[in-house]
Structure 1
Amino acid sequence: MNKITAVNILLWLIAAITVFHLSILLKLVPYEITWGGRLKSEAEMYAFESISIAVNLFLGFVLMIKGGYVRQILPLKMVNAILWIFLVIFTLNTIGNIVAETYFEKFFALVTVSFSILIWVILNKGKKQETHGKTHSV
């Protein structure tokens, strides 16, 4: 799989995850089944879901820079560092989801491991292109 394909798949996954978080905010999905059942109030739900949406939109923006879809306003080293941070977060989140108590949370291990693998592909394919003198973003 090439880098641009991985970026595109991740952007679609982020769109789907953002819709999911919006559906929780709009109370179409009960917040009690998310976050490992640790949310105790609607106020907590609004805070956690708002942060989740913001983080997903930020990741989407970074991926759009990496994929060459928007102007590169961040240095490439910073974009790569951000993606490495997200790789670590999604890897740890995968472990957390695997050991979660509910099947709903366990299911999201598939999503987070997919994010981890795709970010790994993006970082490694990008590195190979940069070391071979091809520094273009796609």
Structure 2
Amino acid sequence: MKYLLTARAAAHGMLLILSLIVLFHLLILTGVIPFAIVWGGRLKSHQQMLSFETVSIGLNLLMLAVVALAAGRLRLRVNSRLITGALWLMTALFLANTVGNLLARTALEQLVFTPLTLLLAVFSFRLAMDRKKITVPASA
């Protein structure tokens, strides 16, 4: 798999996709996109949507930071085991989300977000498998 998908391509793909997902959730939060099409079509109120979308945006920003650290785009001193552990956790989260999207009530989640979360799981797996040192000194 190392030769089919480079860690660099996986990182860049994740940075792009996660950035677009944050934008998507911001559009839901602002009402541009109706919240009925996300979260499996199970959200019942505006307040519930605000809670779920706020958590989602926060988690996606955290995952963006993890990938940016792994890719050397964010230069902070962080233990490489912590970053690798976070990438394994992200792999599991994206796999679980893929199953959730398959069971969603909305066609958008089934047809668009299922392959997207599966791709993110593959990218996360590729980065987690990378054995290089991930830590980048703050002065670099």
TM-score, normalising length: structure 2: 0.87
Corresponding residue of 1:112: 117
- Answering whether residue 27 of structure 2 is matched by residue 4 of structure 1, we say no
**Match for residue 49 of structure 1 among 50, 53, 58:** 53
Residue by residue over 1:106-134, the C-alpha shift from the partner in whole angstroms, topping out at 9 and shown as x without a partner, is: 0210110010011111122x12xx3xxxx
The structure-2 alpha-carbon separation of the partners of 1:136 and 1:23, relative to structure 1 and needing over 3 Å to count, comes to closer
Residue by residue over 1:43-78, the C-alpha shift from the partner in whole angstroms, topping out at 9 and shown as x without a partner, is: 111111111111000000011110011123321000
Corresponding residue of 1:79: 83
Distance in 2 between residues matched to 1:73 and 1:31, nearest whole Å: 38
Distance in 2 between residues matched to 1:33 and 1:40, nearest whole Å: 12
Distance in 2 between residues matched to 1:101 and 1:25, nearest whole Å: 20
Which structure has the highest helix share of the two?
1
Contact 1:67 1:137 in 2 (8 A): no
Corresponding residue of 1:35: 39
Runs of 4+ in 1 over 6 A off after TM superposition: none
Distance in 2 between residues matched to 1:74 and 1:38, nearest whole Å: 38
Matched letter for residue 16 of structure 1: L
TM-score, normalising length: structure 1: 0.88
Distance in 2 between residues matched to 1:54 and 1:115, nearest whole Å: 17
Distance in 1 between residues matched to 2:135 and 2:83, nearest whole Å: 11
Gaps of 5+ in 2: none
Contact 1:14 1:56 in 2 (8 A): yes
SS of the equivalent of 1:60 reads: helix
Matched letter for residue 124 of structure 2: I
Identity rate, percent: 31
**Match for residue 22 of structure 2 among 13, 18, 22:** 18
Cα RMSD between the aligned structures? 1.5
SS of the equivalent of 1:73 reads: coil
- Give how far 1:99 is off: 2.4
Distance in 1 between residues matched to 2:103 and 2:50, nearest whole Å: 25
